[in-house]
Structure 1
Amino acid sequence: MLPSQKGRFSLPDGLHYLNAAYMSPLLKSVEAAGVEGVRLKRVPTDFGPADFFTSADRVRQLFAQLVGGQPKHVALVPAVSYAMATVAKNLDVERGQTIVVVAEQFPSHVYPWRRLADDAGATIRTVEPPAPLGTPGRGADWNARLLDAIDADAALVAVPNVHWADGTVFDLEAVGEQCRAVGAAFVVDGTQSVGALPFSVERARPDALAAAGYKWLLGPYGMGALWLGERFREGRPLEENWIGRAGSDEFAGLTSYEDAYAPGAVRFDVGERSNPILLPMLAAGIEQVLEWTPEAVQATCAGLAERVVDGARALGYAAAEADERAGHLFGLRPPESVRLDALAEALGARNVSVSIRGGSVRVSPHVYNTEADADALLAALGAARS
């Protein structure tokens, strides 16, 4: 476990920010990288041709190190929706096949598949949880239902590692194995896990993994990463931009148009990816995550989660067992006597920031949190019962 890292952030005293799943605060190092990028853009001659490539390659290298892949297989994307649209463009789905998702996934990991299903005449198969949050065995049973849904009709399984609303952890290694057994594509939204929970593309073996940068990667809004497996590496990008082409680093020859793409996943990069502000910020965020390690981040968050869950249960709230939820993101189901408007008022009065998702309290601590933050949350949970 790490000692409190609050000093690396600019969070004000008195704010109990247990809401990293909503948006991470900026590290001071990330903020400094962004300011330096703004200064670089002031004088265009300071941003040379090589700068269109070096920061992008640095982010690829860092993200690949984080997930255990190779930099050449990482594309730079502005959002998970862009990443999933890229995957959808390169996936053949036939009439009558199914696309498997879990209930109440984040919309960016649902809407692309709904469009794909409509266009192909396929069906979305939504795997519902077996019981309310906090029911013993709910996570294991939900995972079992998911595996049962991946049958010979499945063309695609699109799931998160950690459910964005309640923190349920899905067994991606088991899901991937079942996908390969039936020939289904396996696509993971890692936005609410990569950076805070150890993840390996070698173990999970997804066909694609996307992560937005502004949550657990501690980066800016508007820049993330897409790792692509062999199934999609030779596909067609959403955009036909110049920087994704072979020889694009030779600026004098750009009008000698080249149909061949640059090697690797560069072809899938978003246009104007060489952002002198966002890329250095994302690099600084991932560098800090790597210094801490996702293992240490998870252990630190899990310690706070245990304190919160134990205290909340004593107040009548329900929560999943530790082996079925993440330490950095988990849900608390209020007792029937607690109104959500009263809970929101109690949280606001104590300057506690969490999220309400699907009738549950979503708590997402990070390494800047302390026991005082956990206790402020518990005080608000208790006050809402009165």
Structure 2
Amino acid sequence: MFDIQAIRAATPGCENRIHLNNAGAGLLSRETLTTMTGHLELEASIGGYEAAASERERIAQTYANIAELINGRADEIALFDNSTHAWNAAFYSMSFKRGDRILTGRAEYGSNVLAYLQIAQRTGAEIVIVPNDEHGQLDLHAMENLIDNRTKLIGVSHIPTSGGLINPAAAIGQIARKAGVPFLLDATQSVGQIPVDVEALGCDMLTATGRKYLRGPRGIGFLWVRTSALEHLEPFVAEIASATWNGDRGFEWQPGATRFETWEYSYSNILGLSTAVRQTLDIGMEAIGPRCTELGASLRGQLDAIQGVTTYDLGARKGAIVTAKIDNIPTDVAAAMLGKQGINVSTTAPEQTQFDTEDRGVHPLIRLSPHYYNTEDEIAQAVRAVSDLASRAR
């Protein structure tokens, strides 16, 4: 097990807050912050282009670090300013026509759903929502029966933004491979929270962000694309980073996943992400994953024991995101009251998981999301605060 107190001492935000909003943005470590500010100072002292050139090797190491984390290759990684743009780069590189089918689940993220809807309107493709099973996760048997020769994509959120559910992504990957259907996995909430191995998962494309459980900066995300999937994808944007002019009236895509990238970046954010990923690797997901799951289970169980509090997390397997409601207190008010006590939480929104909202209608909910650097005492303090609110509301 890692030294939690040493990690907390190296995390400035732990000094004055109980941070249970890691599904929103994790706390930066001092080392990540120093990396980022150091590069900004370098840009200020010698120039932005010159700073990037001088840090070329460290920038390249970012791709290698991410690849190591998810068991991919560096040339299969593309960097973006956020995970939604990374997901869009993969999705909109696919071709759909009338009658094609996109299979997804109830837990799919809101921006992904909007993209599906747009493509359906543009092309006549059909969105097929795979029902949940008795545990509230994507029903594997139902999905397998829904796949036919019209199915062009399986798009799934590994862990939704709206709860603790961990969808059975590896089993979905097995079904997708057997059927020969591309599998796009939104791993925004899972990378850094639980072990993620693209080979074991069997996905063809995976997207994630830096700011959540990786504890990196805002404004950075990435896309992983399996090399064998590239021949089926046509990037929807061509620019000087993604393609090379052939000297005439044509161009060639860059090799590997760099064909999805754009030229301009915040290199401070890239280097910050690299540092954060390296820290995750050094601690080890084999330690981080169980710690996150245990904290989530402890928090969920203690909240369930409070009269007037209900938790709403689905799934046979649950992670560190815990969603709840306090009777007789509007969700936004409860979240604000916890914030005034120095407890960082957030809330879910109906429009962020539209298909789940259609099915359950439980949103908005208070979302509490611990990470490995949170302590059992912090969990207990948060539970006491929620209990006090519930008691006063009865």
Task: State whether TM-score is above 0.5.
Answer: yes
Among 158, 163, 169, the alignment partner of 1:161 is 158
- CA change 1:129–1:356 in 2 (3 A) is farther
3-state DSSP of counterpart to 1:126:
strand
Range with greater deviation from structure 2 (86-95 or 56-65): 86-95
Whole-Å separation in 2 of the counterparts to 1:95 and 1:322 = 33
3-state DSSP of counterpart to 2:219:
coil
3-state DSSP of counterpart to 2:230:
coil
Structure 1 residue 27 corresponds to structure 2 residue 32? no
Whole-Å separation in 2 of the counterparts to 1:219 and 1:79 = 12
Structure 1 residue 292 corresponds to structure 2 residue 283? yes
- CA change 1:27–1:143 in 2 (3 A) is farther
Task: Identify the residue that residue 385 of structure 1 maps to in structure 2.
Answer: 390
Among 67, 78, 92, the alignment partner of 2:81 is 78
CA contact (8 A) 1:99 1:122 kept: yes
Unaligned runs of 5+ in 1: 131-136, 249-253
CA contact (8 A) 1:161 1:169 kept: yes
CA contact (8 A) 1:319 1:331 kept: yes
Task: Identify the residue that residue 257 of structure 2 maps to in structure 1.
Answer: 265
Among 185, 189, 192, the alignment partner of 1:188 is 185
Shift of residue 14, structure 1, vs aligned partner: 3.9
Identity of aligned residues (%): 23
1:357-382, CA deviations, whole angstroms, 9 ceiling, x for partnerless residues? 12333221112211221012111221
Among 370, 375, 383, the alignment partner of 1:365 is 370
Shift of residue 62, structure 1, vs aligned partner: 0.7
Structure 1 residue 106 corresponds to structure 2 residue 97? no
Range with greater deviation from structure 2 (212-221 or 31-40): 212-221
Task: Give the aligned residue type for 1:209.
Answer: L
Task: Identify the residue that residue 225 of structure 2 maps to in structure 1.
Answer: 228
3-state DSSP of counterpart to 2:121:
helix
Q: How many residues align?
A: 371
Shift of residue 211, structure 1, vs aligned partner: 0.8
- CA change 1:264–1:342 in 2 (3 A) is closer
Task: Give the aligned residue type for 1:169.
Answer: I
Whole-Å separation in 2 of the counterparts to 1:12 and 1:45 = 32
Range with greater deviation from structure 2 (14-23 or 300-309): 300-309
- CA change 1:110–1:171 in 2 (3 A) is same
Shift of residue 64, structure 1, vs aligned partner: 0.6
3-state DSSP of counterpart to 1:157:
strand
Whole-Å separation in 1 of the counterparts to 2:240 and 2:148 = 41
Structure 1 residue 95 corresponds to structure 2 residue 98? yes
Task: Identify the residue that residue 242 of structure 1 maps to in structure 2.
Answer: 240
Shift of residue 307, structure 1, vs aligned partner: 2.3
Q: Pairwise mapping of residues 206-221 of structure 1 onto structure 2 (< 5 A)?
A: 206-221=203-218
Task: Identify the residue that residue 168 of structure 2 maps to in structure 1.
Answer: 171
- CA change 1:341–1:72 in 2 (3 A) is closer
1:269-288, CA deviations, whole angstroms, 9 ceiling, x for partnerless residues? 12213x33111111101001
Task: Give the aligned residue type for 2:385.
Answer: A
CA contact (8 A) 1:40 1:276 kept: no
Task: Give the aligned residue type for 2:311.
Answer: A
Task: Identify the residue that residue 315 of structure 1 maps to in structure 2.
Answer: 306
Range with greater deviation from structure 2 (106-115 or 160-169): 106-115
- CA change 1:367–1:146 in 2 (3 A) is same
Whole-Å separation in 1 of the counterparts to 2:289 and 2:218 = 23
CA contact (8 A) 1:78 1:224 kept: yes
Shift of residue 346, structure 1, vs aligned partner: 4.0
- CA change 1:322–1:228 in 2 (3 A) is closer
Shift of residue 74, structure 1, vs aligned partner: 0.9
